[in-house]
Amino acid sequence: MSKQTVLYDTHKAMGARLVPFGGWDMPLHYGSQLEEHHHVRRDAGMFDVSHMTVVDIKGADVKAFLRYLLANDVDKLKQPGKALYTCMLNETGGVVDDLIVYYLDDQWYRLVVNAGTTEKDLAWLEKRSATYDAAVKPRRDLAMIAVQGPNARAKALPLLSSELQQKGRDLKPFNAVADGDWFLARTGYTGEDGFEIMLPGDRAAEFWRQLHTAGVEPCGLGARDTLRLEAGMNLYGSDMDEESSPLESGLGWTIAWEPQERDFVGRTVLEQQRKDKQKRRFVGLVLTGRGVLRNHLKLFDGEKEVGEITSGGFAPTLERSIAFARVLPDIGETCDVEIRGKRVKAQLVKPPFVRNGKAVIDL
Amino acid sequence: MNTTPTDRRYAKSHEWIKDEGDGSYTIGITDHAQELLGDLVFVDLPEVGSQVEAGGDCAVVESVKAASDVYSPVTGEVIAINEALDGAPETINEDAYGTGWMFKVKLSDASGMDELLDADGYEAMIADED
């Protein structure tokens, strides 16, 4: 039986098509996934992301614990509310999950982890934190709503408490402010400006309605996927997993190699892999022939198989099909994709494809 | 929900076929099918002159979500395709029973039509699915 967020009844009332995702019944769309995508690129859309889990970690050793647990270094976080994107690795350098970590104070950090990996992550956190003074507490009482798009902040701010309005007006990207259990972060998963807002679950339906009245359109997971793909943002389980390292997933930039004396889970294997000239590359693809790129399609250079698509689809902003792929290191600038037995040409590009409403690749 | 037109027949795999009265039959997917698929972004049609077989896959519709095969409800020869769909696959979302038609065939054996569902039968079938 799938779980339901506190907004489930609201989604149904607003005409959502609900589908199972990561153990939850979530809106796929509210009519047209394409229109929802364009709303976010051109104006403002909102997503119920309450299926993701907020995890507070508190205690005297939290910082030391997270510096050991995470491949990025929370020592970079000096200002309260500052956020960092990171992978949490296993001993073989595979990705247990990708997450955002917020620094709140020296004894309090907050993680936001994926829905489908929550139980695994909590078990991992419990086990790894055993030798530290660090208490792991999932905040199931909180809902989370992402408001995204060029007009998202202007439409959402007036609905917040005067304190959050004041603190939120000049909030820099990848920073957050709190007011009680309300938490306002200038983050997102669409390549547009906006907020991710955590709030008490029992206030979520009312806030969602207020956002809608303010002209923010509800958007489902379908649009969320095409937006993040265009924005060059990885999806856990498709683009990386426990079998693939950040270095093979386009996430090398999230690994903090310095200081060298910092030990973190997976470091030894990553150090080896870093020197490996044969490791696979993670690239973007634009389909130049007809069709749609899909997950797991194989890539060829002549008869030689040179890679596989990790996630692909139709890019509404670009009006063509794009993908991420894991490929051999020596691949050229084009390749063939096998679609239903036919070979179709694709061009290799460096993600992202779209930022702030505009294409950032040459088509 | 659009009403299901009574001037044509339906396959259980969600295609419709309409007798145009001039020896040609027009084929498309149903409004129910387009709604399940979501926004369509690509359509791959059979070639004019090719043979299609009843129950055989002969076209592909791809939505933002996934690719789906389209099965021919009858056996025959493709005599026309809706080329406008190439640049505007969303036409099927907007008008599945009209301007969103996919291809026309000349039947080699019209008796296959009798095995297909009428509008009531098709509506009953999708009501059962829900």
Q: Which of B32, B37, B40, B41 best tests the A interface by mutation, with the highest count of A CBs <10 A? A: B41
- CB spacing of A291 vs B44 below 8 angstroms: yes
Is there a domain that residue B21 lies in?
A: yes
Whether pTM > 0.90 for this model: the answer is yes
Q: CATH code at B37?
A: 2.40.50.100
Distance CA A200, CA B97 (A): 47
- CB spacing of A32 vs B39 below 8 angstroms: yes
- CB spacing of B64 vs A291 below 8 angstroms: no
Number of domains in chain B: 1
Rg (C-alpha) for chain A, rounded Å, is 20
Phi, psi of A274 (to 5 degrees): -60, -35
Residues A320, A349 contacting (CB under 8 angstroms) = no
Taking contacts as CB-CB distances below 8 angstroms, the residues of chain B near A313 are 64
pLDDT tens per residue across all 363 residues of chain A = 799 999 999 999 999 999 999 999 999 999 999 999 999 999 999 999 999 999 999 999 999 999 999 999 999 999 999 999 999 999 999 999 999 999 999 999 999 999 999 999 999 999 999 999 999 999 999 999 999 999 999 999 999 999 999 999 999 999 999 999 999 999 999 999 999 999 999 999 999 999 999 999 999 999 999 999 999 999 999 999 999 999 999 999 999 999 999 999 999 999 999 999 999 999 999 999 999 999 999 999 999 999 999 999 999 999 999 999 999 999 999 999 999 999 999 999 999 999 999 999 987
Q: For helices A33-42 and A221-230, what crossing angle results, to 10°?
A: 50
What is the residue range of B60's domain? 9-122
- Find the closest chain A residue to B86 by CA distance: A290
Is there a domain that residue B61 lies in?
A: yes
Is there a domain that residue B130 lies in?
A: no
- CB spacing of A314 vs B60 below 8 angstroms: no
Is there a domain that residue B56 lies in?
A: yes
Is there a domain that residue B4 lies in?
A: no
DSSP string spanning B32-43? HHHHHH-SEEEE
Which of A34, A28, A4 is CA-nearest to residue A16?
Answer: A28
- CB spacing of B44 vs A28 below 8 angstroms: no
Residues A350, A294 contacting (CB under 8 angstroms) = no
SS3 A3: strand
Is there a domain that residue B53 lies in?
A: yes
Q: Which of B1, B62, B64 best tests the A interface by mutation, with the highest count of A CBs <10 A? A: B64
Is there a domain that residue B89 lies in?
A: yes
Residue in the structure block whose two tokens are 């019944």: A25
Q: Which of B44, B67, B90 sits opposite A294 (nearest CB)?
A: B67
Is there a domain that residue B3 lies in?
A: no
Give the count of alpha carbons within 13 A of A68, CB side only.
14
Taking contacts as CB-CB distances below 8 angstroms, the residues of chain B near A344 are none
